[in-house]
Chains A and B, each alone.
Chain A
Amino acid sequence: MAERTKQVKCVVWDLDNTLWEGTLSEGGGRSLRPGLRESVLELDRRGIVQSIASKNDPPAALRRLRELGLEEYFLCPQISWNPKPLGLRAVLDALNIKPEAAAFVDDQPAERDEMRASEPLVRVYGAEQAASLPEMPEFQVRFVTEDASRRRLMYRADLARQGAEREFSGSDEQFLATLGMRLAIAPVTEDTLRRVEELTVRTHQLNSTGYTFSYEELSALTASPSHIFRICSLTDRYGDSGHVGLLLMESGAEALTIRLLIVSCRVMTRGVGTALLAHATRLAAELGKALRAEFLETEYNRIMYITYRLAGFEELEEDGKRLLLEYRRPEPLPYPDYLAVDEPVTV
């Protein structure tokens, strides 16, 4: 279980004299600064999403990005005359990314200072560092998974779904029922291990213990007879969200104990955590064992604690920040109505 530099998930770029040469309104912006096309493409390949915060005329700036062949790489670009921290905040809200996982690149010291003052957790870089971002430790990913290279497209589908949700007039659940969501739960295998490692490193808010494991440790767990290890993927009519959740359980003599429950923040309002918990309660019932869950309080994961507690888990033991919870309802949790679940037939 290793402590790592917290990975950047989202880079927000300035345009004039940062991404491209010169100032667009003064006839600049005809070419990108050296090495930046390569940087943008490489970050994208690694699954680090990108956006824009630039003080410019929106149609002109977007047209130029299109001419430079880069428009598709930037999600919800913020081009306006507003302060950049507002733009960055709008991007993070739309993508559900925390400021500590964000980076901002700008050539102007005053803009960087303004960003640091209002978003102290955002990592800030000057234009001279822009081409070397892919070499910095905080932009490293150990593997480029299939999920990573498709991440931008998944975020685009998320944005389309959010747009539809804003238009929808019923309750949240009624909206979810319109999505035609399917959740496939499957045992973790060698094929999905890299994505498993990525989820453990990237997810903080919806992580029950914050444990991260090395690739070798994870590989050993898939073969362990005393562990049940599940990964799930989600699709709906807007597209494929990829692998979005993990459930690692240790099977003891009298209890099945959840060591790790992780749900990707991108899908946090879509019932995946509840479905994985329901799956765990069903397995425990099938095995005739109690269901327990280890919970390790971190700075971010209170939301996971609430999920457990209001789904019927009670505190059994407390040891500092480490808790052991136990499921106390007589019957397994039902799967949410709005989710079609495919689960493995047997334990």
Chain B
Amino acid sequence: MDTKERIYGFFVQKKRADGLAYDTELLRSRHINSLFALEIVRFVEKEFSIKIPRKEISEANFHSIDAMAALVERLRGA
């Protein structure tokens, strides 16, 4: 499974994948609220064994599954 699929899987597991695509805007939609934002940060760190530095916790990096996957790949490559 690639990075996007693994992140998408978490949304499915949390029953938040209705009508969700990799490029769906998440932060101002029904797919993410502030509670889930915390869960998704924790999930991404655990699933991909990375620690997301403070500066990278931003809307730009979490506004879609595409953006999160790009962040993960960048941090894993670093």
Contacts and interface: CB of A to CB of B under 8 A. Distances in A.
Interface residues of A, number: 24
Contacts of A307: 34, 37-38
A172 B34 contact: no
A133 B14 CA distance: 43
A173 B14 CA distance: 10
Contacts of B41: 306
B74 interface: no
A195 B62 CA distance: 36
Q: Which of A173, A274, A306 has the most CB of B within 10 A?
A: A306
Given A172-B14, A310-B27, A310-B59, A271 B34 contact: yes
Given A171-B14, A312-B59, A306 B38 contact: yes
A307 to B, nearest CB: 5
Contacts of A172: 14, 35-36
B16 interface: yes
B58 interface: yes
Nearest to A315: B55
A99 interface: no
Q: Which of B27, B33, B34 has the most CB of A within 10 A?
A: B34
Nearest to A331: B28
Q: Which of A172, A270, A307, A336 has the most CB of B within 10 A?
A: A172
A264 to B, nearest CB: 15
A271 B32 CA distance: 12
Contacts of A336: 33
B15 interface: yes
Interface string A292-304: 0000010000110
Contacts of B59: 309-310, 312
A327 to B, nearest CB: 12
B61 to A, nearest CB: 10
Interface in A272-318: 273-274, 277, 297, 302-303, 305-307, 309-312, 314-315
A311 B27 CA distance: 8
A170 interface: yes
24 contacts: A170-B15, A171-B14, A171-B16, A172-B36, A173-B33, A269-B35, A270-B35, A273-B34, A277-B34, A297-B54, A305-B54, A306-B37, A306-B38, A306-B57, A307-B37, A309-B59, A310-B27, A310-B32, A310-B59, A311-B34, A311-B37, A312-B27, A315-B55, A336-B33
Interface of A: 170-174, 269-271, 273-274, 277, 297, 302-303, 305-307, 309-312, 314-315, 336
Given A271-B35, A306-B37, 4 more contacts: A269-B35, A305-B57, A307-B38, A309-B57
